[in-house]
Amino acid sequence: MKITRIETFLVPPRWLFCRVETDDGVVGWGEPVVEGRAEVVRAAVDVLAEYLIGQDPLRIQDHWQVLTKGGFYRGGPILSSAVAGIDQALWDIAGKTYGAPVHALLGGPVRDRVRVYAWVGGDEPAELGEQIAEQVEAGFTAVKMNGAGATSPVSTVSETAAVVARVAAAREALGPDRDVAVDFHGRFSAAASRRVLAELAPLHPLFVEEAVLPEQNHLLPGLVTSTSVPLATGERLYSRSEFLPVLAAGVAVAQPDLSHAGGISEVHRIASLAETYGAQLAPHCPLGPIALAASLQVAFATPNFLIQEQSRGIHYNKGADLLSYVVDTEPFRFVDGYAPRGDAPGLGITVDEAAVRAADRTGHAWRNPVWRHADGSFAEW
């Protein structure tokens, strides 16, 4: 079997899909994307495709080595995400060729269903209680929310109080048996995070995410020891070597993104690395159905798995949503806040190719907003 064609599709709301075709007629799908830089990843996939055309798609590990290391310059979000999407497609092809779901090829399932959480609130959420009640009604047992919008480098009393009040409102709506995770999104300085974490601790968040920016992860050891709140990070880390120091720092939850951190191959290895540090896996995935399907396959085969992000109804999904490009929505029919385990081969989903090709004709040019502080200076989004 040989790879004969690799195509990419720029589809709303902000995604990029890739389709890998073989001379046997087996087709695999992947989602190589960096949100806001999808066109750049598309160009990277085109360059990597030069090597792959004519190759045996089942040599996933060898292709991963060549694609990540063979260009001499390595790493970073663009290249790692391009490799990630191709890697997903190759695993999809492998599963379809061997007649097995990817989680079976990774060693077999270790759980029957995968806990997922829902997002509540945009960046300036209002009526949080009402939104949480909706998700609880839909069966979810956990939600995630942003800690704050644009935040001062050293937060004021009222900024700190606002974060705590919103998380307290969430805890009130959820009760003691459901979870709230809080995403700081790298908007807080380490000093602000330390202060806010102390006040959030009594509210028992499931975890607090990106308490500092990835480039300040060298401050994590101090933050970890300063709080009882489990700290999470990883959506902006792209390899085992980038996860190693944060795991050694004692973060409780590793959040690699299946579409950023080298795909199924590398996230499976990151999960094993996290296990040696007693950390749990909670993959980042505010993305489309292929990235989520890949995430679920890893979750079914990972012992130290905590919870999975998913994008259904997320505030970013304008013009298309999680179910817009799949023929069978069953893999994403969440029951009591869990995704079911299927036994369909490969990634376990059937992509609606006609819908994808039609959407690509429209395309998108999604960009994240650029925020400013009151004094006009740049603010982290």
- Scan residues 235-274 and list those touching Mg ion (CB under 5 A): none
* Under rule CB under 5 A, residue 35 binds Mg ion: no
Strands 3-11 and 15-22: antiparallel
Contact at 8 Å (CB) between 188 and 196? yes
* Under rule CB under 5 A, residue 183 binds Mg ion: yes
C-alpha–C-alpha distance, residues 125 and 166, integer Å? 9
Which strands, in side-by-side order, build the sheet including 15-22? 3-11, 15-22, 27-30
CB neighbours of 283 closer than 8 A, spacing ≥ 6? 255, 256, 257, 258, 267, 295, 298, 299, 308, 309
Using the minimum distance from each CB to Mg ion, give the nearer residue, 214 or 221.
214
C-alpha–C-alpha distance, residues 335 and 168, integer Å? 26
Cis upstream peptide for 176 (omega within 30°): no
Contact at 8 Å (CB) between 232 and 282? yes
Least Å from the CB of residue 183 to Mg ion: 4
Contact at 8 Å (CB) between 246 and 209? no
- 268 tagged catalytic: no
Using the minimum distance from each CB to Mg ion, give the nearer residue, 173 or 253.
253
Using the minimum distance from each CB to Mg ion, give the nearer residue, 87 or 209.
209
Catalytic residue among 63, 268, 284, 364: 284
- Binding range to Mg ion, per CB under 5 A, among 160-168, 194-202, 204-212, 300-308: 204-212
Using the minimum distance from each CB to Mg ion, give the nearer residue, 31 or 309.
309
- 284 tagged catalytic: yes
Least Å from the CB of residue 181 to Mg ion: 9
> Quick one: DSSP state of residue 316?
T
Least Å from the CB of residue 210 to Mg ion: 6
Using the minimum distance from each CB to Mg ion, give the nearer residue, 159 or 209.
209
Least Å from the CB of residue 269 to Mg ion: 22
Which residue's Cβ lies closest to Mg ion? 183
- Binding range to Mg ion, per CB under 5 A, among 187-195, 206-214, 222-230, 335-343: 206-214
Active site residue ranges: 185, 284
Contact set with Mg ion (CB under 5 A): 183, 209
